[in-house]
A and B are shown apart, each in its own frame.
Chain A
Amino acid sequence: DGGITQSPKYLFRKEGQNVTLSCEQNLNHDAMYWYRQDPGQGLRLIYYSQIVNDFQKGDIAEGYSVSREKKESFPLTVTSAQKNPTAFYLCASRRLAGGGSSYNEQFFGPGTRLTVL
């Protein structure tokens, strides 16, 4: 079955460490997105990418970095510069062309819960 996988499901980090969250999709989607979710805050966009080797900052990019070397993969690195990284992180993807019933829809992975100790 096609879908989006995120790993690990739970991640613990010590202060001052960088950590990388994995996001892989086998839906052949063009665009991929990273969101941060905090209680009562909804989802806030960190970074997104519409094509391989290109990405754009979202609303809260400070302290985060991404890469898009393959269409299927969009890893997110939470750096030590991110002052409050404890949150639930969600990856999503969508098609950018072709029409059909799922056009315009973002599909979400199961999420990674990051806790800073």
Chain B
Amino acid sequence: AQSVTQLGSHVSVSEGALVLLRCNYSSSVPPYLFWYVQYPNQGLQLLLKYTTGATLVKGINGFEAEFKKSETSFHLTKPSAHMSDAAEYFCAVSDRGNNRLAFGKGNQVVVIP
């Protein structure tokens, strides 16, 4: 079964600083990879995904992520944090041909003015 590791349950970043959230997965073949964002008491919204093709993926709200097969990683970045980026972020993976998602435990991002 797939597993996803997100280190650091709470991440503090200064407004205007780089946002970096790490995601590592376990899989013998390249899976489908996703980052979702969740605002308080709401559902999840897709930020970006990797399925095939270019390994650097751009998403909404200025976020991007890079798939690195050799490192089994899919880290999420944003060059300059904004107060509106305060939310919880989840990395998720699914095997090709599998209709289930496995989620990491999430990163709660706090943006410091």
- Contact at A104–B42, with CB atoms within 8 Å? no
Number of residues in A with C-beta < 8 Å to the partner?
27
Which residue in A4, A40, A50, A106 is a CB contact (below 8 Å) of B101? A106
Measured in the bound complex, the distance between the Cα atoms of B45 and A110 in whole Å is 10
Which secondary structure characterizes the binding site on chain A? Answer: strand
Whether A40 lies near B99 (C-beta < 8 A) is: no
Q: State A14–B42 Cα separation when bound (angstroms).
A: 24
Summed over the interface, the residue pairs from A and B with CB atoms below 8 Å come to a total of: 50
Contacts A42-B104, A104-B32; is A96 near B43 (CB within 8 Å)? no
B103 touches A42 (CB 8 A): yes
Question: B43-57, CB under 8 A of A: which get 1 and which 0?
Answer: 111100101000000
A110 and B43 contacting across the interface, CB-CB below 8 Å: yes
B84 in the interface, Cβ–Cβ < 8 Å? Answer: no
A41 touches B105 (CB 8 A): yes
Number of interface residues of B (CB under 8 A): 21
Chain A contacts with B in 85-117, Cβ cutoff 8 A: 88, 90, 92, 94, 96, 104-111, 113
Task: Tell yes or no: B100 within 8 A of A by CB.
Answer: yes
Known: A40-B106, A50-B99, A110-B43. 4 other contacts (CB 8 A): A42-B106, A90-B44, A105-B49, A108-B44
Which residues of A approach B to under 8 Å, CB–CB?
4, 6, 31, 33, 40-45, 48, 50, 58, 88, 90, 92, 94, 96, 104-111, 113
- Pairs across A and B, CB under 8 Å, 23 listed: A4-B43, A33-B101, A41-B105, A42-B90, A42-B104, A42-B105, A42-B106, A43-B90, A43-B101, A45-B101, A48-B99, A58-B100, A88-B41, A92-B44, A94-B99, A104-B32, A104-B94, A105-B49, A107-B46, A108-B44, A109-B43, A110-B42, A111-B42
Residues of B bordering A, CB below 8 Å: 9, 32, 34, 36, 41-46, 49, 51, 90, 94, 99-101, 103-106
